[in-house]
């Protein structure tokens, strides 16, 4: 990947991240590979896992990070994200 291609790809990822952040309630984060999926998806399209974190703070922060790295946040290449989100705290999840 040339520098120019990397920059173009990163710009695309930033644009996608902004769309996700704008509609954060439509998305969830795979707890296995940290991919962002539509909430209506029953399993992760990347790894097939079925456990997701739907807290808006987690989706927002994952999307924000996704927009700053020109590669997918998958395969455990980054630490698992645990963010306290007061918006959804009372629904029984840790």
Residues that bind Zn ion (CB under 5 A): 30, 32-33, 35, 44, 46-47, 49
DSSP state of 78: S
Q: How far is the CB of 31 from Zn ion (least distance, A)?
A: 8
Q: From the CB of 27, what's the least distance to Zn ion, in Å? A: 13
Residue with smaller CB distance to Zn ion, 14 or 43: 43
Beta-strand pair 27-30/36-38: antiparallel
For the CB of residue 84, give the shortest distance to Zn ion in the complex, in Å.
Answer: 22
Residue 38, Cβ density class (10 Å: 0-12 exposed, 13-18 middle, ≥19 buried): exposed
């Amino acid at each position: 990947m040339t520098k120019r291609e990397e920059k173009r790809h990163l710009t695309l990822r930033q644009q996608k991240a902004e769309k996700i952040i704008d509609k954060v309630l439509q998305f969830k984060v795979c707890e296995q590979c940290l991919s962002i999926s539509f909430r209506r998806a029953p399993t992760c399209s990347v790894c097939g896992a079925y456990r997701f974190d739907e807290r808006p703070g987690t989706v927002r922060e994952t999307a924000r990070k996704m927009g700053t790295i020109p590669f997918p946040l998958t395969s455990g290449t980054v630490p698992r994200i645990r963010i306290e989100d007061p918006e959804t705290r009372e629904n029984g999840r840790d």
